[in-house]
Structure formats: structure tokens, C-alpha cells
Amino acid sequence: MAKQRKQPIIRRSIAALLTAYYGVCGVPGARGYAFNEIVPDVRQPASISGGSACPVPSHQLIAPGSIAEQWSTVLGTNPVTIRTQDQTAAGRLNEIEQAITQSIAAWTGVSGTTLAPGTFAPVTRIAAQNACGSDGVNSICLDQADGAFTPGILAFTRVITADIIGARVGNGAAATQVGQILDADIYFGPSSSTITFATPAALASAPTSYDFESLLIHELGHTLGFSHSAVFAAMMYPFAPAPGTFSGSRPTTQKPDAPLGDDDRTGLRVLYPDPGDTVNVGAVSGRILPANPLSLPASPPGVTGIFGAHVVAVDSATGAVIGATLGGWSCVAPGPAHFDGSYGISRLAVGHSYQVYAEPLDNTVYPSLVSPATASLCRNPKTDAGWPPLQACVVPAVNTSFTTRTRPGL
């Protein structure tokens, strides 16, 4: 599958000054939305693999009611894991479920995507404590001990993706698309004396608790295929708001996606584009090249541009980070990926002016934190026995040793 690159239709300039500004002021690097990428298994027939070794982002199947989500009603009680305003047994569950429903609505409320409110089936309850597991059912568990928890981990989402059509998890439905997410379970840390969560209604009276809704919206982003973003205002920023506070704004009926940042919305539009959207159709693309090609790594061979640069689009009027990408590669069917310095930021609203800057991943975001978006771009005979050499590649190390400059004339 070819990675689509639209022609630039928005004013473009590489602003080294902005890079310097952010560096001096210490504002974290603005790694924008990123997706978990999967290389289809081209050892299988093209009818089920697509035949291309180009990476595809993990994604949910989009159809009415296609994403089901259940949640375990078993809650930690010693101490209370989730604080609620309503203390009755039924009231607690209703309050938590309302937060879950609102969290889903934050994502389905974004315009310009095919992820509509009806894409999620109504959430269901399950009385089992250990509802999370690789069974093909998306689950939220609030008091399930898991062998992966160690001190220092509050919550996580485990996502299972298929690399061919027909793969399945447990008794779940078989994948009908390459890159389809088959199971995504959200684990909140089980009972702890130091970590608790609170529903929006209870947060004001629980200043030491994390906002359950903010964390859940973030984790649901993983369920939809997102990796982390380094944009502060993004919900996919990897760190929850301080206890007693919440991310963004609370959702309203008029604006259910209020908690999300622009970067989240742009990412969602890229991942689930609405073909009927006429507003968010702008794109910026190009290549990041070194002044001296000899500075490029000799190994692996074939690297012709900077790999791993952050390329960020900033709205010139507001200064807001609208979207960003991890640049450095392109792919045309039948693949593999080429590390030629290409980047592309798409689904930008037309009628705006944007400034674009590039920065190395050596400030507040390090290559290890973006490994899900970089390490999985290639497969080869060493990683996968029998992989066809002509569709094989090796991901180069993220280049963090370049300095951006404005090219004369831009």
C-alpha cells in the first residue's frame, strides 16, 4: 500500500528559528501523533497480505457497532480504587459507566473522520474481575492484577494487531483488514495505598486522585491505534494530568471532543479519514536532507535522508501545534520502506497558514520513546524466516545529530 502524499497546498517554510526558540525556552519537543505500524506478512498470498511490505498503521474496523467495549464492574475496595460522588453500589457503577461513555464520545465526536458515535456498540458490563485477556473482546479492567505490573506502573493498554486477513484472537472475529486491531484491553492499576482514580463528579473532593476520565480517554486512544504524542496539549501525551486536575476541557453535549487536542484530532482524521470531509484536506510534504550526504549512516545501506526527524506544523495565527509526524521514510508498493528523509503531514484544515519546523529527537523525546513507531517499519529474513529479500529492509538508527537550518529561498 503506497503511503499517500498530497501535493503541498499550504504555505510551507522550515523555521530553524522556531527550533532554536523551543530549544532555548525548554518547551518539550513536539512529537505529534504517531501510530503503531505493522508490516503485512508478504510471505502469505497477496489475497490475505495485500502483497505489499509497506507499513500500515494499526486500526480498528470501522462499521456501525464494530467496536465493542466491556468493563469489569469489580472494583478495588481496600482501598477504593475509583472514587465516585455517589456512594451507593448502583450509583457508583452508573457514575463510572458515564465516564466511560463520555470518554468514548470524546473520540467519536471529532469531525472529519469515519469514527462516528455509532461505531462503538453500547458499553456492556461484566462481573468477572479478570475480564481482560487475549480473547478478542475489548475490555476495561479496574482491579485486575496482571503479571506485567511492577512498582511505578499506573495503567496501560495492550493492543493486538493482525498482519494478515483471517488472523484471529481467541473466539473473536477474524481480521478482515491487514493491520486490524483484534483486541485492546485497558488495565488500571489494582488496589494501591498511594494511587487512586476519581470520576469527574468526585474529582473536586478527591484532590489526590487521578482523573479517571482523562486517563481513560488517553488509553482509548491506544485502543484506536495511537501511539504516544509529545504535544503537551494532546490527550496522547504520555503523562496524565496532576492528581485533582484533568486534561483539556470537560466534554459537553455541543463539544464532546473538548478534552482532545488539535494533534489528537488531526491524528484521528489521518487514521480514519472521512472521504466526504472538505475542510481538513490540506497536506504538507517534503524531505529532510543533510547538507553533506556523507554524514548519513553507511549501515544499513540505502539511507538517503534524515531518519527520525520530528516535523511539526504550527498554526501561524495561534501558535498551536496542529499536527506533527516522525519523518524520514516513504514506501511505495510492493515495498519495502525507503529511508529517504520523506515526511508528510496531512488532514490539515484549509484556509489557515502553517509554519513547519524540523527538530532532532534529542531534547525531551528520545528515540526509545518512539520505538513503536520506528522499530516496526521493516521485516527481513533475520526477523522473519523466509522473508523475501526484495521486500526486506533494516530500520536505521534514529538520526539525532543534525541541525536544522532554513534553506535560502524558502
H helix intervals, 39-115: 46-49, 89-108
CB of 173 to other proteins, least distance (A): 14
Q: Which is nearer to other proteins, 34 or 96 (CB)?
A: 34
**Cell for 200?**
469527574
Buried b (16+ CB within 10 A) or exposed e, 127-153: eebebbbeebbbbbbbbbebeebeeee
- Confirm if 153 and 135 have CB atoms less than 8 A apart: no
Residue with cell 491506544: 222
Nearest residue to 186 via CA among 213, 216, 214, 161: 216
Residue 38: strand pairing partners: 56
Q: Which is nearer to other proteins, 107 or 112 (CB)?
A: 107
**Cell for 316?**
501561524
CB of 163 to other proteins, least distance (A): 5
The SS3 of residue 338 is strand
Spacing of C-alpha 355 from chain mean position: 23
**Cell for 212?**
479517571
Q: Which is nearer to other proteins, 112 or 365 (CB)?
A: 365
- Confirm if 201 and 84 have CB atoms less than 8 A apart: yes
CB of 22 to other proteins, least distance (A): 7
Buried b (16+ CB within 10 A) or exposed e, 52-61: bbbbbbbbbe
Q: Which is nearer to other proteins, 19 or 342 (CB)?
A: 19
The SS3 of residue 218 is helix
Q: Which is nearer to other proteins, 94 or 134 (CB)?
A: 134
CB of 183 to other proteins, least distance (A): 8
Q: Which is nearer to other proteins, 157 or 399 (CB)?
A: 157
CB of 235 to other proteins, least distance (A): 12
CB of 390 to other proteins, least distance (A): 21
Measured distance CA(373)–CA(324) in Å, rounded: 13
Measured distance CA(238)–CA(228) in Å, rounded: 6
Q: Which is nearer to other proteins, 88 or 245 (CB)?
A: 245
The SS3 of residue 295 is helix
Interacting residues of 137 by C-beta distance below 8 A, sequence separation 6+: 68, 70, 131, 170, 172, 183
Q: Which is nearer to other proteins, 75 or 195 (CB)?
A: 195
Q: Which is nearer to other proteins, 120 or 197 (CB)?
A: 197
CB of 156 to other proteins, least distance (A): 5
CB of 159 to other proteins, least distance (A): 5
CB of 157 to other proteins, least distance (A): 7
If 0-12 CB within 10 Å is exposed, 13-18 middle and 19+ buried, where does residue 261 land? buried
